Structure 1
C-alpha cells in the first residue's frame, strides 16, 4: 500500500552555539586593570614632572609671561573701554604707562619711607637688644661677661676669615646675577604685557587655528574662563588687599609706630599671598611695635594691640569682603590653598606662592566649563 512511499526526513534545527567566555589574560583581570591604570598614572606624572622641570629651566621667560598674562587679564575691562574710544596702540601705551607708574610709585614710596625713618628704627632696635640682654642677665643660667666676650671674638674672627670673605665674594657675584636676571625679566614682562594688551584677541585666535569643531568651542571656553578668572581674582584680591592695608595702616599710624607707611604698603603686597601673607604682615608689624612702642612707650603692649588689629582686619576680610568682592565661584577650600602655596613655594619661591592660587583657580574654572557652559568635566560633576 504505502510501503513504496518515503516520507521526507525532518532536519533538526542547527544547535545554538554556547556563549564563549572572554579570553582571560594577564591584562584582563582585576590586577591587569589596576596595572594599566598605574602605568597611565605614572605616564601622566612623568609628563607633568618633565613639563615642570622644563619650565624651571627657563623661569626667566615663564614667570614674566605668566605675570604679563595675569596683569593683562586684570586690566582687560579697562583696555576694552579704551580700545573703543581710541586707537589700540595709544590705548595700550596709556595703560602700560599707568601700570608702570603705579608699581614704580609703590616701590619708591616704600624705599623713601624706610630711608627716612631708618635712623630712628636703628636706635630703637639697639635699645631693644640692650633690653633683651639685660633681661637675659637676670636669668639663673645667663652667660657671664667672659662668655659673651668669647662669643663676640669668635664672631669677629669668622667675619674676618678668608672663608667668609670668599663667601661674601661669591654672594656678591650671585647678587649681581640675580639683579641682572630680575631686570631682564622685568623688561621682558613689560614687552609681553604690551603685546598682550594690544593684540590679545589676535594672538588667541592664532593659537586656536589647529582646533576644529567641538575642540575649538572647548578651547574658546577655556580661554574666556582663564581671562575672566584671572581678572576677577586679581581685582578682588587687590580690593581686599587695599582694605587690609588701610585698616592696618591706620592702626599703625594711630599708635605712631615707625615705618607705618612701608609696613602698610608691605601689607598690601603680602595680601596677594592668601593666609600666609596676612600672618607675615602681622608678625612684621608686631616686631616693629615691640622694638619701638610708639607714643605708648611700651613695646609689649603696642605689639599686642598691633596683633589684635591684624586679627580683626583679617576676620573682617575673610568673613565679609572676600565673599562679596571675589564671589563664591573663586573661593577655594583652605586646604587646597595651603597645598597650592606649598607646591608653588617649593617650585618658584615667593613668586610661586603668589602665582599658585590664581593658577589653581584657573585650573578649577577650566574644569567647570570643560563640557560646556555650566557643564563641568564628567568626573567633576556632583
Structure 2
C-alpha cells in the first residue's frame, strides 16, 4: 500500500496552461483567424447597410465619378489647347449632357411614332399564339385560355398593381432627384477633382501618401478605360444589330439598338438580354423566320465582341475573371437593381487595382512612383 502511494505521489501533476498558451496551438490559431474573418464580415455588412440607407447620395456620386473618369481626358485635352479650366469643364459637361439628351430624344420619338403599329402587330401575334395553343401538338382548351386571360385582367386591376404604380412614382421622383444631384457632382468632379483629392490626402505623408496618389491614378485609369472601351464595344454592337433590324424592317429598330447599347454596359448578360428582346419584337411583328435571323445576328455579334473587340479595345482595363464578374453582377443586382448591375463590375475592377497597388503587385507601380517599394516586395 505504501509503495503504491509513493508511486502515485511521484507521478507528475498536470500543468495548467495559461490563456496565451491556449491560443498558441493549432485550434487557437484557427479560432483567431475565424474571429478576424467574422469581424471583417460584420464590418463589411454594416458598411454596406449604412451605404444603402443613403443610396440616393452614394449612387449619384459613383456614377459621377465614373463619368468624370471617362471624359476627364477630353477636359485635359481642352486645357492643353489653351482653354481655361472652367471653360474646358463647361464645354465637356455641356457636350456630355447634349449626348445624353439626344439619346433619350431618339428613344422617345421612335417609340411614339411606331407604338401604334407595334401594338397592332402584338395583338395579331397574340391571336396567332392563341390559335397555335388551341391546335398545336399539345392543345389547350378554350376555357383554360379564357380563365388565364381573366386572371391577367384581374391582376392588372388589383390593388397590388395600383400600389406598385404608386411605388413606381416614388422611384421616378428619386431617379430625377438623383440625376440632378449627379449632374451637380459631376461638374465639380470635372472642375475641382484634383483639389478634392489633394484635400482628402492631407492627413497622409511619405510612402502612404504616394501609394494613395497611385491608387487615385489607377482608379481613374481603370474607370476611364472601362467606360471608354465598353462604349466602343457597345457602339459596334449597336450599329451591327441596329442595321440588321432596319434591313429586316423590325419595328422600333432605333429604340432596340439603343437598348443594346445600354445593355452592353452590363457584362456577360446585358447585350444578350437586349438581343433576346429584339428577337421577341421581331417574332411578334415579323414572324419566326425573321426572329431566327435576328437571333443569329445577335449570336454572331456577341462572338465578335468576346473574341476580338473586348481583348483589343478593353486591354488591361478589366483584369477580372468571368466568375468574379458574375459574382459582382449578382451582388450588385441584389443590392441596387439595374444600377447596381451596371456599377458592380467597374467597382470590382477598381477594388482589384487598389489591392495590386497596395501590395506592390501593380506592374506599372515602379515607373509611376519610384519612391514606392518594388513589385513583389512585402506590403507596408
How does the TM-score come out when normalised to structure 1?
A: 0.87
Distance in 2 between residues matched to 1:353 and 1:257, nearest whole Å: 28
Aligned residues: 350
Equivalent of 1:303 in 272, 291, 294: 291
**3-state DSSP class of the match of 1:369?**
helix
Structure 1 segment 12-31 matched on structure 2, within 5 A: 25-31=21-27
Give the match for residue 253 of structure 1: 246
Distance in 2 between residues matched to 1:268 and 1:59, nearest whole Å: 25
How does the TM-score come out when normalised to structure 2?
A: 0.87
Q: 1:363 and 2:356 equivalent?
A: no
Structure 1 segment 290-369 matched on structure 2, within 5 A: 290-293=283-286, 299-328=287-316, 330-369=318-357
Task: Report the CA distance between 1:268 and its aligned residue.
Answer: 0.4
Q: 1:103 and 2:100 equivalent?
A: yes
Q: 1:113 and 2:127 equivalent?
A: no
- CA separation of 1:77 and 1:329: change in aligned 2, threshold 3 A: closer
Does the 8 Å CA contact 2:237/2:260 hold for their aligned counterparts?
yes
Task: Report the CA distance between 1:226 and its aligned residue.
Answer: 0.3
Give the match for residue 197 of structure 1: 190
**3-state DSSP class of the match of 1:292?**
helix
- CA separation of 1:256 and 1:376: change in aligned 2, threshold 3 A: farther
Q: 1:142 and 2:139 equivalent?
A: yes
| RMSD of equivalent CA atoms | 2.0
Distance in 2 between residues matched to 1:329 and 1:60, nearest whole Å: 28
Task: Report the CA distance between 1:148 and its aligned residue.
Answer: 3.9
Distance in 2 between residues matched to 1:153 and 1:353, nearest whole Å: 35
Structure 1 segment 53-72 matched on structure 2, within 5 A: 53-72=49-68
Structure 1 segment 235-246 matched on structure 2, within 5 A: 235-246=228-239
- CA separation of 1:322 and 1:33: change in aligned 2, threshold 3 A: same
Task: Report the CA distance between 1:47 and its aligned residue.
Answer: 0.6
For residues 49-95 of structure 1, give each alpha carbon's deviation from its aligned partner in whole angstroms, at most 9, with x where no partner exists: 01100111011000000000000000111111123322222222221
Equivalent of 1:267 in 255, 260, 264: 260
Task: Report the CA distance between 1:156 and its aligned residue.
Answer: 4.7
Task: Report the CA distance between 1:371 and its aligned residue.
Answer: 4.1
Q: 1:227 and 2:220 equivalent?
A: yes
Task: Report the CA distance between 1:176 and its aligned residue.
Answer: 2.1
For residues 8-61 of structure 1, give each alpha carbon's deviation from its aligned partner in whole angstroms, at most 9, with x where no partner exists: xxxxxxxxxxxxxx9772100000001001111111111110110011101100
For residues 284-319 of structure 1, give each alpha carbon's deviation from its aligned partner in whole angstroms, at most 9, with x where no partner exists: 1110111122xxxxx111111111111111111111
